[in-house]
């Protein structure tokens, strides 16, 4: 009888611990205000960054806004860089993503960035770069997806 009680307690403990881990694990969730409406296109979603504007493959003007969410660990002093590269990986545009709420967290934090492209139109790559004030290569990270500059 005691063996069954011990087994039941161990199983209950495992279920409670697994449940707590599943509840505590953050999942990338889009803020309702950032969800694109009236579009079949999907936002860009990675482990650390969600971009809701522009959408992958979308067309933008030479001055445009990037909106989304990034984990707080991507920011330094509430910002991180955004680059636009042409097909030869030349930088043709730049912007700075600014956190729109408290960035000192590991959770997703909304951001907005004004981006300007100079003297270029055509296919490009939007690159969001984790701010790395340490300069250590092991802390580098970036995500990217294609866009078209009009």
- pLDDT category at 31 given cuts 50, 70, 90 is very low
Question: Would you state the pLDDT for residue 10?
Answer: 56
Can you count the helices (H) and strands (E) in the chain?
1, 9
Beta strands 142-149 and 59-60, pairing class: parallel
CA quadruple 86, 89, 92, 93: dihedral positive or negative? Answer: positive
How does strand 91-99 pair with strand 108-117?
antiparallel
Q: So what's the pLDDT on residue 11? A: 54
Q: Which two tokens stand for residue 42?
A: 């999907």
pLDDT at 125: 98
Q: Do 55 and 40 form a contact (C-beta atoms < 8 A)? A: no
Q: Check residue 8 and give its pLDDT.
A: 57
pTM over 0.85: no
45-56 residue pLDDT tens: 999 999 999 999
Of 125 and 41, the one with more pLDDT: 125
Omega cis (within 30) before 148: no
Give residue 102's pLDDT: 96
Domains, the chain, with CATH or none: 29-149 (2.60.40.10)
Long-range contact set of residues 76-82: C-beta below 8 Å, sequence gap at least 24: 76/131, 76/132, 76/133, 77/131, 78/103, 79/131, 80/111, 80/128, 80/129, 80/130, 80/131, 81/129, 81/131, 82/113, 82/115, 82/126, 82/127, 82/128, 82/129
pLDDT in tens, 82-141: 999 999 999 999 999 999 999 999 999 999 999 999 999 999 999 999 999 999 999 999
């Amino acid at each position: 009888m005691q063996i069954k009680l011990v087994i039941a307690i161990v199983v209950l403990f495992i279920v409670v611990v697994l449940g707590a881990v599943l509840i505590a694990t953050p999942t990338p969730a889009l803020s309702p205000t950032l969800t694109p409406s009236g579009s079949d296109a999907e936002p860009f979603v990675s482990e650390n960054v969600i971009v809701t504007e522009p959408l992958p493959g979308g067309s933008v003007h030479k001055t445009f806004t990037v909106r989304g969410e990034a984990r707080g660990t991507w920011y330094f002093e509430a910002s991180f860089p955004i680059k636009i590269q042409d097909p030869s990986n030349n930088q043709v545009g730049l912007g700075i993503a600014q956190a729109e709420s408290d960035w000192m967290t590991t959770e997703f934090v909304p951001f907005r960035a004004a981006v300007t492209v100079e003297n270029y139109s055509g296919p490009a790559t939007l690159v969001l770069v984790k701010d790395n004030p340490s300069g250590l290569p092991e802390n580098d990270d970036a995500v990217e997806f294609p866009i078209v500059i009009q």
